[in-house]
């Protein structure tokens, strides 16, 4: 993919990558950082967007999608990674692709104390469960990193994740 847009258009660049990779199922628990990408996916009739009650549902769903020959991706916030830990064993034991795109909270200038423990542990927890993790902390790094995450998942059959840093997304300030 050759992005011809500015670095701030990274959600549109991710959408373009999902199309390039033939993604047909997008599982998500919403995060503000993913809102523009979610809108693009919802407007696409070739992508089935499934909102989940908890992020671990997405791991089961994308395993089922792969069984049926469809590629999928899981979008979530860093807190949701904690809801996925045991379910990651499904993709590891079956050796199936599981790309995840995670927007970080509790990472860089966080306001909410509850976001910090999981935000601080997100990469460690994913790696402890056998996931290949790459970080993107500037807008121009996001598309190449997501591309690598998708390629490594579908070419090498394992869970992979891009963590999009809070430095890119901005910290929610609650008016303070």
Partner 1 sequence: MAQLNSKIETGATGKLLRRTVVSALLEDRRGMLCIAGLGAPAWDITAAGDCPENLPLWGGMGGAAMMGLGLALAQPERRVLVITGDGEMLMGIGSLATIAVQRPKNLSIVVLDNEHYGETGMQETHTHHGVDLAAMARGAGIGDCRLVKTAEEVLALRQAIHAGAGPLFAQVKIDEQTLPLVLPPREASILQARMREAIMGKAAHLQ
- Closest to partner 1 by CB, 96 vs 166, is 96
Q: Are 120 and 158 in contact (CB under 8 A)?
A: no
- Closest to partner 1 by CB, 72 vs 119, is 72
Does position 54 bind partner 1 by CB under 8 A? yes
- Closest to partner 1 by CB, 17 vs 163, is 17
The strands making up 23-28's β-sheet, listed across from edge to edge, are 48-51, 23-28, 71-77, 98-103, 159-164, 132-136
Q: Is 138 strand, coil or helix?
A: coil
Q: Give me the sign of the Cα torsion angle 68, 73, 76, 81.
A: positive
- Closest to partner 1 by CB, 135 vs 151, is 151
- Closest to partner 1 by CB, 59 vs 104, is 59
Of 136, 75, 72, nearest to 101 by C-alpha is 75
Number of residues that bind partner 1 (CB under 8 A): 33
Where in 58-117 is the site for partner 1 (CB under 8 A)?
Answer: 58-70, 72, 86-87, 89-90, 93-96
Region from 56-64, 99-107, 117-125, 143-151 binding partner 1, contact rule CB under 8 A: 56-64
| Token pair for 109 | 């200038």
| Euclidean distance between CA atoms 51 and 30, whole angstroms | 8
Q: HSE on the CB side for 24, CA within 13 Å?
A: 8
Q: Minimum distance from CB of 63 to partner 1 (Å)?
A: 5
Q: Minimum distance from CB of 54 to partner 1 (Å)?
A: 6
Q: Minimum distance from CB of 6 to partner 1 (Å)?
A: 34
Listed in sequence order, the residues at least 6 apart from 169 whose beta carbon sits closer than 8 Å to its beta carbon are 32, 33, 103, 104
Where in 5-44 is the site for partner 1 (CB under 8 A)?
Answer: 24-25
Q: Minimum distance from CB of 157 to partner 1 (Å)?
A: 8
């Amino acid at each position: 993919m050759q992005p011809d847009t500015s670095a701030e258009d990274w959600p549109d660049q991710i959408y373009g990558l999902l199309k390039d990779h033939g993604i047909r199922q997008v599982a998500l628990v919403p995060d503000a950082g993913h809102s523009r990408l979610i809108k693009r996916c919802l407007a696409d009739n070739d992508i089935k967007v499934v909102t989940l009650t908890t992020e671990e549902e997405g791991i089961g769903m994308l395993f089922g999608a792969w069984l049926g020959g469809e590629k999928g991706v899981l979008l979530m916030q860093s807190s949701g990674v904690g809801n996925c830990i045991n379910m990651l064993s499904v993709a590891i034991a079956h050796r199936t692709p599981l790309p995840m795109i995670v927007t970080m909270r509790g990472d860089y200038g966080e306001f909410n104390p509850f976001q910090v423990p999981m935000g601080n542990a997100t990469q460690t927890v994913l790696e402890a469960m056998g996931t290949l993790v790459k970080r993107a902390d500037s807008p121009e790094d996001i598309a190449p990193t997501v591309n690598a995450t998708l390629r490594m998942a579908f070419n090498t059959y394992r869970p992979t994740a891009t963590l999009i840093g809070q430095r890119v997304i901005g910290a929610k300030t609650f008016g303070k």
